[in-house]
């Protein structure tokens, strides 16, 4: 990406289509640029001057270099203008004009043209269909929104321009300030990944926030965000629009792992904080901007009323914090300082008649305890307590100890000024104690995200050619493959039980004779992928019953679907399900994030139990381990009720090998190993089902 400094920090801004015509967008932008510290150059063939700025009649006539061009002319002219800007060497362009990708196929073609021009001239192009950009350090407001943001450390990107105008307006009342704001528009060129990169190296950006409806290239975003979040927190609000990547899915993984789960997993893997709603977005942003991260998990609560203290304690129980247990000397000092009836244990209750002095002393003592790494101060209004003084005391003590603090000084009108005082010191105040805990919890999540060591996925010794060969052969019949393609798992080192596909009862008997013990027999047909649903799986067949079972399986298949293509019957060694647990390991492709791995409790009840977890592939060893620990049935795998724990190392390796397989073969669109039987002796893939796109082979 070329240098994008001019986008938010330009000296000279050209407005292509800048005008003074009442009610036009071109005028709104010119008016918003009134306060800009640099030079504004309107480009308009019909005007010599626009709102006091001398105009030029065309882009070609621009004399001095332009750092940023804002384009507001109709779509067709906008394309020409952008090309001319490119030819003039202007690299930062914001296309406000609508009527592109969002406006049918004609618009989409126009948008492609715009991207091509941007490519050719290596332009940083924002939009089209953008509200514009804002940057407070230079008083730059190159948007057509109604208000100017106040300065601050938040840099904000939004896929909705309307949301920006609403947020900026509201934030002024809340005292929330911004550094840069960008309306991403249709993201023809620059997208969310580019902006997190731009802001990573911007010293004025303390926190990156985003409202996104989709992520263009999920994998690129994950890789990019991982490095950015180490320095600058990223918070995204999830929007409802992602849920339906609703392609008809034939695999379990396809039905279970919807786009919404891909988005959640992807953002987690990216180390991004997800906000559930707009309130959380700004709660998290403010606390991350204003407070340090805790260097431990212990939290203390100091209050003057029991009720709110209990509410806070309940909320803490659901958070990642633990109620800190105070050191002896803390308890002694509190005992000496607080009156009879006060609670010296956490949550500390200074009781209802506490004045400012007592409250302050208690906070000081508690914050000095090294078991306290975060604190909450709660207060209800009483006559002897002055909120403003309390706010100043809390701020001073927070700065003294550098412990993250959030407050719930509760009340109405009387809280306005004290809340402002606290905010100036970066301390958020809430009416609801639970909301304060939730915000403090975000600090912890962020801290944990920055501590993750990302490893590169391991390489394994695999037989790629073999997989290619099996897939090519199998897809000649059908794009949906069943157990006839199990060999691809073998080729990638995922163990499968001894199996063979036969096409006569005689051969079946002969194969069964070579397998120790009873066998499992399964119908093999690309048209019957849910075999047990039609009685197409027979477990525990003795050698003497093999011929009859063979005939029976064929009859069932033909009854179910007379024209089904039958490839034969698979004979398989029995896998011990007394010591083994049926799990599912699968993959489906998300349009934004690519291959999404699913792991969970398997067998025939997988969709009913829905105990699964997902990650974007490729996954590392650490991520595979986390996935195993995440499912509700994890204790079952780890030796609940006196059972031996399963071979987790083998399971982790199988997960990584599958991750490699689906990364190596984009042609595999969906894949289920169900069951993958996991036991103390290792793992075995017993059944497989996949969908392949032969064009990608």
| Residues at the site binding ligand ADP, with contacts judged by CB under 6 A | 497, 520, 522, 530-532, 537, 539, 572, 574-575, 577, 582, 603-604, 674-675, 686-687
Query: Interface with Mg ion includes 582 (CB under 5 A)?
Result: no
User: Least CB distance from residue 608 to Mg ion, whole Å?
Assistant: 14
Proportion of the chain in helix, strand, coil states, percent, rounded to 5: 40, 20, 35
Q: Residues, the chain, total?
A: 697
Q: Which is nearer to ligand ADP, 452 or 539 (CB)?
A: 539
Work out what residue 323 binds among ligand ADP, Mg ion, none; the CB cut-off runs from 5 to 8 Å by kind.
none
Which is nearer to ligand ADP, 43 or 581 (by Cβ)?
Answer: 581
Specify the 3-state DSSP secondary structure of 401: helix
- Closest distance of CB 677 from ligand ADP, Å: 7
Residue partners of 530: CB distance under 8 A and separation at least 6: none
Nearer to ligand ADP, 372 or 502 (CB): 502
Q: Which residues contact 240 (CB under 8 A, 6 or more apart)?
A: none
Q: Which is nearer to Mg ion, 510 or 534 (CB)?
A: 534
Nearer to ligand ADP, 205 or 525 (CB): 525
List Cβ neighbours of 458 (8 Å cut-off, separation of 6 or more): 620, 621, 656
E runs forming strands in 241-394: 273-275, 298-303, 322-323, 348-349, 374-379
Residue 475, classified by CB atoms within 10 Å of its CB into exposed (0-12), middle (13-18) or buried (19+), is buried
* Terminal CA-CA length for the chain: 32
Q: What is the smallest separation between the CB atom of 574 and ligand ADP, expressed in angstroms?
A: 5
* DSSP one-letter code for 674: E
Size of the site for Mg ion (CB under 5 A): 2
Nearest Cα to Cα of residue 67 among 42, 45, 38 = 38
**Smallest distance from the beta carbon of 664 to ligand ADP, in angstroms?**
25
Residue 688 in the binding site for Mg ion (CB under 5 A):
no
Cβ closer to ligand ADP: 311 or 521? 521
CB of 603 to ligand ADP, least distance (A): 4
| From 140-148, 220-228, 556-564, 683-691, span contacting Mg ion (CB under 5 A) | 683-691
Whose CA is closest to 648, among 626, 625, 632? 625
Kindly state the smallest distance separating residue 141's Cβ from Mg ion, in Å. 59
Cα pseudo-dihedral 95, 101, 102, 106, rounded to 10: 110
Q: Does 319 bind Mg ion (CB under 5 A)?
A: no
Among 397, 665, 687, 690, binds Mg ion (CB under 5 A): 687
Identify which of residues 102 and 607 has a Cβ nearer to ligand ADP in the complex: 607
For the purposes of burial, counting CB atoms within 10 Å of the CB of 325, is it exposed (0-12), middle (13-18) or buried (19 or more)?
middle
Minimum CB distance to Mg ion smaller for 533 or for 548: 533
Q: List binders of Mg ion among 661-680 (CB under 5 A).
A: 674
Which of ligand ADP, Mg ion, none has residue 520 at its interface (CB below 5 to 8 Å by kind)? ligand ADP
Place of tokens 């989709």: 214
The yes or no reply on residue 191 touching Mg ion (CB under 5 A) is: no
Q: How far is the CB of 320 from Mg ion (least distance, A)?
A: 37
Q: Cis omega before residue 596 (within 30°)?
A: no
Contacting residues for 4 by C-beta, under 8 A, at least 6 apart? 92, 124, 190, 194, 198
Task: Give which of Mg ion, ligand ADP, none residue 269 binds (C-beta under 5 to 8 Å, depending on kind).
Answer: none
Q: Judge whether 360 and 397 are in contact, CB under 8 Å.
A: yes
Residues paired with 520 in a beta bridge = 572
* Bond into 574 cis (ω within 30): no
Q: How far apart are CA 112 and CA 386, in angstroms?
A: 62
- For residue 542, the minimal CB distance to Mg ion (Å) is 23
Whichever of 530 and 638 has its CB closer to ligand ADP, that residue is 530
Residue 18 or 254: which CB sits closer to ligand ADP? 254
Nearer of residues 172 and 566 to ligand ADP, judged by Cβ: 566
- The region of 153-161, 210-218, 643-651, 684-692 touching Mg ion under the rule CB under 5 A is 684-692
Which of Mg ion, ligand ADP, none does residue 200 bind to, with CB < 5 to 8 Å depending on kind? none
Task: Output the smallest distance, CB 189 to Mg ion, in A.
Answer: 45
**Strand residue runs (E) in 53-111:** 53-54, 68-71, 92-95
At its nearest, how many Å lie between Mg ion and the CB of residue 687? Answer: 4
Nearest to 586 by CA among 487, 499, 483, 659: 659
Report the nearest approach of ligand ADP to the CB of residue 674 (Å). 6
Q: With beta carbons less than 8 A apart as the criterion, state whether 80 and 88 touch.
A: no
Which residue, 367 or 569, is less far from Mg ion as judged by CB?
569
**Side-chain half-sphere exposure of 257, counting CA atoms within 13 A:** 33
CB under 5 to 8 A by kind: which of Mg ion, ligand ADP, none does 111 bind? none
Residues with Cβ < 8 Å from 22, sequence gap 6 or more? none
CB atoms within 10 A of CB 583: 29
Report the partner that residue 452 touches, choosing among Mg ion, ligand ADP, none (CB closer than 5 to 8 A by kind): none
Reference 344, options 352, 354, 355, 334; nearest CA is 334
384 binding partner (options Mg ion, ligand ADP, none; Cβ < 5 to 8 Å by kind)? none
Q: Distance (Å, rounded) from C-alpha 451 to C-alpha 353?
A: 43
Q: Does 251 bind Mg ion (CB under 5 A)?
A: no
Query: 532 is in the binding site of which of ligand ADP, Mg ion, none (Cβ under 5 to 8 A by kind)?
Result: ligand ADP
Copy the structure tokens of residue 10. 């330009």
When CB distances are held under 5 to 8 angstroms depending on the partner's kind, the choice from ligand ADP, Mg ion, none that residue 513 binds is none
Give the span between the Cα atoms of 165 and 674, in whole angstroms.
Answer: 49
d(CA 679, CA 579): 6
CA distance 325 to 323: 6
Tell the smallest beta-carbon distance from residue 371 to ligand ADP (Å): 50
Q: Which one, 336 or 576, has the nearer CB to ligand ADP?
A: 576
Per partner kind, with CB cut-offs from 5 to 8 A, the member of Mg ion, ligand ADP, none near residue 575 is ligand ADP
Q: Which does 539 bind (CB under 5 to 8 A by kind): Mg ion, ligand ADP, none?
A: ligand ADP
40 binds, among ligand ADP, Mg ion, none (CB under 5 to 8 A by kind): none
Segment holding 444, helix H or strand E: helix 433-451
**Residue 207 or 554 having the CB closest to ligand ADP:** 554
Residue 590 beta carbon to ligand ADP: minimum distance, rounded to whole angstroms: 24
Q: Least distance (Å) from Mg ion to the CB of residue 528?
A: 12
Q: Does 202 bind Mg ion (CB under 5 A)?
A: no
- Which of 81, 70, 77 has the alpha carbon at shortest distance from 7? 70
Q: Which is nearer to ligand ADP, 182 or 489 (CB)?
A: 489
Least distance (Å) from ligand ADP to the CB of residue 214? 33
How many Cβ atoms from other residues are within 10 Å of residue 296's Cβ?
A: 15
List residues near Mg ion by CB under 5 A: 674, 687
């Amino acid at each position: 990406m070329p240098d994008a400094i001019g986008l938010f920090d330009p000296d000279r801004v050209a407005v292509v289509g800048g005008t003074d015509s009442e009610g036009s967008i071109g005028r709104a932008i010119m008016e918003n640029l009134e306060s800009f510290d640099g030079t504004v150059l309107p480009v308009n063939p019909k005007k010599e001057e626009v709102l006091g700025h001398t105009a030029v009649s065309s882009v070609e006539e621009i004399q001095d270099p332009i750092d940023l061009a804002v384009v507001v002319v109709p779509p067709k002219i906008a394309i020409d203008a952008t090309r001319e800007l490119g030819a003039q060497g202007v690299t930062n362009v914001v296309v406000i004009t609508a009527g592109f990708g969002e406006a049918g196929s004609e618009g989409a073609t126009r948008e492609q043209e715009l991207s091509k021009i941007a490519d050719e001239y290596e332009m940083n192009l924002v939009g089209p269909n953008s509200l514009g950009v804002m940057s407070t350090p230079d008083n730059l407001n190159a948007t057509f929104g109604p208000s100017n943001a106040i300065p601050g450390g938040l840099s904000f990107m939004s896929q909705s321009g309307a949301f920006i105008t609403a947020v900026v307006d509201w934030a002024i009342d809340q005292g929330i300030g911004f550094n840069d704001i960008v309306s991403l528009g249709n993201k023809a060129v620059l997208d969310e990944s580019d902006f997190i990169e731009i802001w990573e190296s911007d010293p004025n950006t303390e926190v990156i926030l985003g409202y996104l409806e989709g992520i263009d290239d999920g994998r690129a975003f994950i890789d990019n965000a991982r490095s950015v979040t180490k320095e600058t927190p990223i918070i995204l609000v999830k929007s409802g629009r992602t849920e339906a990547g609703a392609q008809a899915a034939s695999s379990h993984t396809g039905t279970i792992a919807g786009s919404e789960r891909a988005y959640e997993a992807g953002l987690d893997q990216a180390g991004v904080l997800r906000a559930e709603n707009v309130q959380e977005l700004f709660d998290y942003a403010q606390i991350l901007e204003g407070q340090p991260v805790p260097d431990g998990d212990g939290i203390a609560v100091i209050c003057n009323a029991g009720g709110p203290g209990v509410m806070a304690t309940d909320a803490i129980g659901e958070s990642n914090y633990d109620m800190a247990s105070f050191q002896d000397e803390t308890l002694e000092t509190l005992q000496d300082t607080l009156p009879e009836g006060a609670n010296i244990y956490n949550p500390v209750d200074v009781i209802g008649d506490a004045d400012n002095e007592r409250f302050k002393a208690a906070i000081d003592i508690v914050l000095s305890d090294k078991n306290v790494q975060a604190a909450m101060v709660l207060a209800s209004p009483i006559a002897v307590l002055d909120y403003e003084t309390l706010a100043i005391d809390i701020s001073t003590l927070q700065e003294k100890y550098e412990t993250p603090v959030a407050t719930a000084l509760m009340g109405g009108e009387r809280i306005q000024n004290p809340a402002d005082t606290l905010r100036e010191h970066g301390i958020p105040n809430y009416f609801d104690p639970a909301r304060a805990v939730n915000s403090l919890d975000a600090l912890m999540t962020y801290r944990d995200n920055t501590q993750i060591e990302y490893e590169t996925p391991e390489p394994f010794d695999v037989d790629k050619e073999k997989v290619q060969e099996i897939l090519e052969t199998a897809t000649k019949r059908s794009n949906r493959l069943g157990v006839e393609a199990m060999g691809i798992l073998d080729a990638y080192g995922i163990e499968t039980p001894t199996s063979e596909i036969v096409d006569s009862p005689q051969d079946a008997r002969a194969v069964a004779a070579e397998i120790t013990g009873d066998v499992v027999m399964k119908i093999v047909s690309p048209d019957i992928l849910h075999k047990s649903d039609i009685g197409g799986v027979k477990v525990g067949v003795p050698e003497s019953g093999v011929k009859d079972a063979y005939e029976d399986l064929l009859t069932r298949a033909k009854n179910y679907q007379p024209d089904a293509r039958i490839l034969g019957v698979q004979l398989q060694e029995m896998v011990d399900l007394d010591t083994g647990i049926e799990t599912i390991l699968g993959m489906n492709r998300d349009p934004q994030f690519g291959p999404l791995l699913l792991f969970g409790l398997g067998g025939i009840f997988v969709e009913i139990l829905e105990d699964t977890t997902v990650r974007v592939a490729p996954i590392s060893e650490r991520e595979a381990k986390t996935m195993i620990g995440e499912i509700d049935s994890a204790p079952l795998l780890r030796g609940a009720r006196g059972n031996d724990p399963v071979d987790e190392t083998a399971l982790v390796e199988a997960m990584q090998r599958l991750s490699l397989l689906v990364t190596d073969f984009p042609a595999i669109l969906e894949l289920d190993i169900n069951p993958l039987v996991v036991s103390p002796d290792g793992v075995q893939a017993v059944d497989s089902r996949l969908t392949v796109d032969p064009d990608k082979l």
